[in-house]
Structure 1
């Protein structure tokens, strides 16, 4: 079982890369006023048929060949519903998929968000050719990371996103930006 929400984001985004996505957007929204924690992973991968989407939260449905069960989405759905939220999956074959999970922010049973800076570092370094966008909103204030802007600063060398130096800079920069975003409450 995945222990925090960043692990679910990682799992879903890695599925997006395996589905051939070249653009992946990750959104985190925290709103005390709405008592809401939302995360969404949107991709332009190959998408899923309506029939597969209907059964994808069944633990015995998986596309992986290394094991016959897939527990990530079933546990995520159960956790979201336990916290007054929901899991939605919108997908169109040939267009892409958006997975959205919502939770009551104040729910005592809500898993912690986890280490999103390390998650983003892992995703970007693991798939440097993907155009990653990360948007994090806390009580209406927003931070946006776009890997195309980083690539521009690297003189167009997208492969540099996989380097340890850039990965560590990305993680540390995200930690600083998200700490600043949270401290403005």
Structure 2
């Protein structure tokens, strides 16, 4: 995974597979670091499963025999001098926090953060996605519920909605 948005897509896809009805994506950029925290209310993991998710040869999926998303996230964070922590509880959900040193040459680029968040929201209309972004020059948050209120009956699946969400996030977050 060569950018931060791919990591966000991978971890939130895990949340969706865990039947989460709420996903919170929090991003902080400042003081030479990037913090990405994804919290869900999915099925959660027991201690044994939690201990195994960092192993690239472990996966709960039946379609393939490897699960590289979390190991790649850990590798990319650690290459910058950062870290990853994962907490989970069965029946309550999971929280993944990744810290990257943004001043390190090995820090991955953002990729398409606005497109990633817009796809997460529009592609999963039954999941309440909350997105919060903080930096020295930006403080922005939006949720599926707020967007649906603004749309006043226009479905999230409408083609122009994704463009609207992308533009809203682009204007209110990082300056890529």
Q: Shorter chain as normaliser: what TM range?
A: over 0.9
Q: Is 1:13 the equivalent of 2:8?
A: no
Q: What RMSD, in angstroms, separates the aligned Cα atoms of the two structures?
A: 1.6
Which secondary structure does the structure 1 equivalent of 2:155 belong to?
A: helix
Query: For residue 69 of structure 2, what is the aligned residue in structure 1?
Result: 72
Say if 1:137 and 1:143, in contact at 8 Å, map to a contact too.
yes
CA offsets per residue over residues 16-46 of structure 1, 9 Å max, x none? Answer: 0111111100011110xx3211101100000
Q: Is 1:118 the equivalent of 2:115?
A: yes
Match of 1:148 among 141, 145, 148: 145
Looking at structure 1, the residues matched to 49 and 70 of structure 2 have their Cα atoms a distance apart, in angstroms, of: 13
CA offsets per residue over residues 69-108 of structure 1, 9 Å max, x none? Answer: 0111111101111111111111000000001100111000
Q: Give ranges in structure 2 of 5+ residues lacking alignment.
A: none
Number of equivalenced pairs = 176
Which secondary structure does the structure 1 equivalent of 2:156 belong to?
A: helix
Query: For residue 78 of structure 2, what is the aligned residue in structure 1?
Result: 81
More helix by share: 1
